Structure 1
Amino acid sequence: MPRHQDPIAAIATAPGRGAVGIVRVSGRGLQPLVLALCGKALRPREASYTGFLDGQGVAIDHGLALYFPAPHSFTGEDVLELQAHGGPVVLQLLLARCLEAAAQPQPDGQPTLAHLRLALPGEFSERAFLNDKIDLAQAEAIADLIDASTEAAARSASRSLAGAFSHEIHQLRDALIHLRMLVEATLDFPEEEIDFLRQSDAQGQLTQLQQRLAQVLAKTRQGALLREGIKVVIAGQPNAGKSSLLNALAGAELAIVTAVAGTTRDKVQQTIQIDGVPLHVIDTAGLRESDDEVEKIGIERAWHAIGEADAVLFLHDLTRLDTTEYRAADADITRAMAEKLPHTVTVIDVWNKLDSAPDKAPAHGIALSAKTGAGLDALRQQLLALAGWQPGAEGLFTARARHVQALQQVQGHLELCDQHLAQQAQALDVLAEELRLAQNALNSITGEFSADDLLGVIFSSFCIGK
């Protein structure tokens, strides 16, 4: 693609003020630009303290310059990094100077660095992928490491970036290729009396491959959970204690809590972590009939959030269970949830205010007190179990929903392979096709086989300068 031939430049640090800011340039033949910006040549992979010069040779700032000649750089191209003071104005001046210096003519009349332009989101990482410095799973791990919301997610992303997930995928692919080779050999030489598949224990190899795939898929689901977490919505009638429960789970006063019904008019969201798993908890407006226009909008948004949840905590007030009107309203909400919610959304009955009504908790659901904290641990463990988290899992790597889907496709193809292999010669051509499709699904994870539009979606989510 033509744009991948252009040199690119960007500010690689987050917007705002900081002690240090970085301007990064990547392309082919950066030495003339290095001379124009730093006034001297730089030794490869060695930090040099120098001035960063404007067009008149006056220093815009002083800092560290690092030059990484190709192919020994992050992108596989020549890379220049200017580490300056982290003021937004300083960094914008340096970036503008890079573009200006690149356009200036050399003695031969050619520009210092032709076609230098601002980088697109994720373009540095995209070039690292295209130049075989990292695979697609590792590239995604860069963004996951930056976006990690928990320590466990950060450590898992670091393992993926180091290649742990890719190693698992490559092992599966190698075993799959070997099995494909046996099937193709049998198809190519049907006149031979040697039964390649039986002699090579193709059935045993397929069984081992399926078992290994199941293990990798389980770890991948855990990795996806660490990255994405689950969305939990707290719902119920006004004054059931929804905001108090959110505050108790978060360990902070995030939502306003009063005795006035209808205090919460809009949803309040907070991401918390339980054993390193992120949970996006949303407090919603109390569900009831209302003539207040503002409250009606809040209730409508509450139902919308409930419909998009992975789990709903249906909060009941133990102190009002003896009230006929309250029980009828709870029954109406239960019916509405049954009608509106997809079957994939789990509803957990949570009985609040256990401190005020300790003898009224029903046998089902979870009884707790958002005020005292009693029962909160049981709720946390229930949420982890609902998410499918396996405590004590070691060596997890971060993963995404698309990785899980790809591995599930592989699993489906291998199940069909098992059926076709049992039919021997009658279905070997179909068996070979299923193995090929399984390998394509695996390759889509690491990017060895991937459509250009998939690459565009992945890298467009990156930040500028990465």
Structure 2
Amino acid sequence: MLARHQEPIVAIATAPGRGAVGIVRVSGRGLSGLIQALCARPLKAREATYLPFRDQDGSAIDHGLAIHFPGPNSFTGEDVLELQAHGGPVVLQLLVTRCLQAAAETDAATGQPRLPGLRVAQPGEFSERAFLNDKIDLTQAEAIADLIDASTEAAARSASRSLAGDFSREIHTLRDALIHLRMLVEATLDFPEEEIDFLQKADAQGQLDRLEAHLATVLQRTRQGALLREGIRVVIAGQPNAGKSSLLNALAGAELAIVTPIAGTTRDVVQQTIQIEGVPLHVIDTAGLREGEGVDEVEQIGIERAWGQIEQADAVLFLHDLTRTTDNAYAASDAEIAQTLLQRLPQGVPVIDIWNKADAAPAPLVQEGITLSARTGEGLQALRQRLLHEAGWQSASEGLYIARERHVQALLRVGEHLNIAQQLLAAQAQSLDLLAEELRQSQNALNDITGEFSADDLLGVIFSSFCIGK
């Protein structure tokens, strides 16, 4: 543990701004001297006490509730003091300043500073302390940030399940099965002269098969959880006046983009996050794609930005105008855009053909893709379901937990090592040392998820995204 993790910390634990209640939190070891200075009395453990918070001269900074959580029975695993005051930013900052001041003052009884080294916490440092002191694992720590940042009800509920340990238990079950299989392989390596075939008798092949089957189930649920957290980027592309801005407005249910019959009205990127069955979709409207006369310098910049967004998309909605399907020049431009999409999009990014203005088309036309009217809403539900399908979303589950892309990648690494292990197990004695190594690598990938063996730089990235008071 780094030296800074031993230092006591203090921070405002509530969101910036004014509110009815604000919280200042202190975490460290041996807070009795600080508590005496701030509250002028000792506090009963885990019992809220209403009292004045004392300034250096004994006057009251504010009146509120003080709660002392002695370690290790606290969120961070250390002694924790929470001061619940009125939620004005000035009042809360005065309390933080007073905590720092009181910590440096000499205690009359000991002749030493009341809480040496007290400093303002860094982002996420309270949750980091909880992780380092084994109060939560890394997936639970990430779930705290995900719960705070949840943009949909489904994401919030799933983050709560992860915080309660649902995802961690799945990973631990996989890890325990791996450890048991590793034990069998290591035993065979350690006692090669034994007549008993440890692996065959213990059904090592069956254990590995069941492990892979369980991994597939966990991976599928983890992908769903990552999708619930991250969502997908959906870019609307097409020629001018195909109805791209109208489609964005229809999906969002609000007039976000300006809609006019003038070609080139949209000249910059307009983005809105919507949700479908709890899945966030980041829908991006772009400038109409065209070349030739009538394209001024500003519109050209918008077109270049449009292609930049398209190249970063998880899915592209290629919008066509049904009222112009008989126009040869229009059809030729659409074909040219389609060819460019094939060249510039990464492999595997779906392009969904959307035939807009069904309400204004001269006659019903059957086209490959989805036919809709952004103006009337006809066909929008089919588009929403298609987007969920392309994203890989399945029906929402009550037991779904939140996850991140790094969790998905770690589980994919586990699968790769287990696949090699299957091949090595068939060779048995000739490759048991390699088999043992693949199983060890699989376990390491699982440990990366829960943080049991994690590099400090990974922890820094994760916890630096937290707010100060967490």
Structure-2-length-normalised TM-score: 0.97
Distance in 1 (alpha carbons) for counterparts of 2:452 and 2:352: 43
Counterpart residue number, 1:347: 351
Counterpart residue number, 2:112: 110
By how many angstroms is 1:213 displaced?
Answer: 0.7
By how many angstroms is 1:109 displaced?
Answer: 3.2
Q: Is the 8 A contact 1:403 1:445 kept in 2?
A: yes
Which residue, 437, 457, 468 being the options, matches 1:453? Answer: 457
Partner of 2:167, secondary structure, is helix
By how many angstroms is 1:358 displaced?
Answer: 6.0
Counterpart residue number, 1:315: 319
Partner of 1:19, secondary structure, is strand
Q: Is the 8 A contact 1:37 1:53 kept in 2?
A: yes
Counterpart residue number, 2:142: 140
Counterpart residue number, 1:57: 58
Counterpart residue number, 1:206: 208
Distance in 2 (alpha carbons) for counterparts of 1:118 and 1:102: 12
Q: Is the 8 A contact 2:277 2:396 kept in 1?
A: no
Which residue identity does 1:205 align to in structure 2?
Answer: Q
Distance in 2 (alpha carbons) for counterparts of 1:51 and 1:257: 59
Counterpart residue number, 1:244: 246
By how many angstroms is 1:243 displaced?
Answer: 1.0
Partner of 1:423, secondary structure, is helix
Q: Is the 8 A contact 2:323 2:362 kept in 1?
A: no
Which residue identity does 1:24 align to in structure 2?
Answer: R
Q: Is the 8 A contact 1:318 1:360 kept in 2?
A: no
Q: Is the 8 A contact 1:68 1:78 kept in 2?
A: yes
* Residue 408, structure 1, aligned to residue 412, structure 2: yes
Which residue identity does 1:267 align to in structure 2?
Answer: V
By how many angstroms is 1:254 displaced?
Answer: 1.4
Counterpart residue number, 2:226: 224
Aligned-residue Cα RMSD (Å) equals 1.2
Counterpart residue number, 1:331: 335
Distance in 2 (alpha carbons) for counterparts of 1:251 and 1:269: 13
Partner of 1:463, secondary structure, is coil
Q: Is the 8 A contact 1:172 1:209 kept in 2?
A: yes
By how many angstroms is 1:324 displaced?
Answer: 2.2
Partner of 1:220, secondary structure, is helix
By how many angstroms is 1:101 displaced?
Answer: 1.2
Counterpart residue number, 2:266: 264
Which residue, 296, 302, 305 being the options, matches 1:298? Answer: 302
Counterpart residue number, 1:181: 183
Residue by residue over 1:413-435, the C-alpha shift from the partner in whole angstroms, topping out at 9 and shown as x without a partner, is 11111111111100100000000
Partner of 2:25, secondary structure, is strand
Q: 1:459 to 1:358 in 2, by over 3 A?
A: farther
Q: 1:256 to 1:100 in 2, by over 3 A?
A: same
Within 5 A, what are the aligned runs for 1:428-439?
Answer: 428-439=432-443
Distance in 2 (alpha carbons) for counterparts of 1:441 and 1:329: 48
Q: Is the 8 A contact 2:12 2:24 kept in 1?
A: yes
Which residue identity does 2:359 align to in structure 1?
Answer: D
Distance in 1 (alpha carbons) for counterparts of 2:200 and 2:382: 53
Distance in 1 (alpha carbons) for counterparts of 2:255 and 2:195: 77
Counterpart residue number, 1:19: 20
Extract unaligned runs of 5+ from structure 1: none
By how many angstroms is 1:286 displaced?
Answer: 1.2
By how many angstroms is 1:294 displaced?
Answer: 2.2
* Residue 43, structure 1, aligned to residue 47, structure 2: no
* Residue 418, structure 1, aligned to residue 419, structure 2: no
By how many angstroms is 1:392 displaced?
Answer: 4.2
Partner of 2:130, secondary structure, is helix
Residue by residue over 1:346-401, the C-alpha shift from the partner in whole angstroms, topping out at 9 and shown as x without a partner, is 11110111100163534201000010000000000000000101114341110000
Partner of 2:62, secondary structure, is strand
Partner of 1:66, secondary structure, is strand
Which residue identity does 1:419 align to in structure 2?
Answer: Q
Which residue identity does 1:73 align to in structure 2?
Answer: S
Residue by residue over 1:288-309, the C-alpha shift from the partner in whole angstroms, topping out at 9 and shown as x without a partner, is 2354222222211111111111
Counterpart residue number, 2:194: 192
Counterpart residue number, 1:4: 5
Distance in 2 (alpha carbons) for counterparts of 1:260 and 1:407: 50
By how many angstroms is 1:58 displaced?
Answer: 1.3
By how many angstroms is 1:20 displaced?
Answer: 1.3
* Residue 440, structure 1, aligned to residue 441, structure 2: no
Distance in 2 (alpha carbons) for counterparts of 1:8 and 1:48: 22
Counterpart residue number, 1:78: 79
Distance in 1 (alpha carbons) for counterparts of 2:99 and 2:152: 37
Which residue, 369, 373, 376 being the options, matches 2:377? Answer: 373
Q: Is the 8 A contact 2:231 2:282 kept in 1?
A: yes
Q: Is the 8 A contact 2:228 2:279 kept in 1?
A: yes
Partner of 2:400, secondary structure, is coil
Distance in 2 (alpha carbons) for counterparts of 1:241 and 1:50: 62
By how many angstroms is 1:35 displaced?
Answer: 1.3
Distance in 1 (alpha carbons) for counterparts of 2:158 and 2:397: 11
Q: Is the 8 A contact 1:231 1:309 kept in 2?
A: yes
Q: Percent of aligned pairs with the same residue?
A: 74
Which residue, 360, 365, 375 being the options, matches 1:361? Answer: 365
- Number of residue pairs matched? 466
Counterpart residue number, 1:159: 161
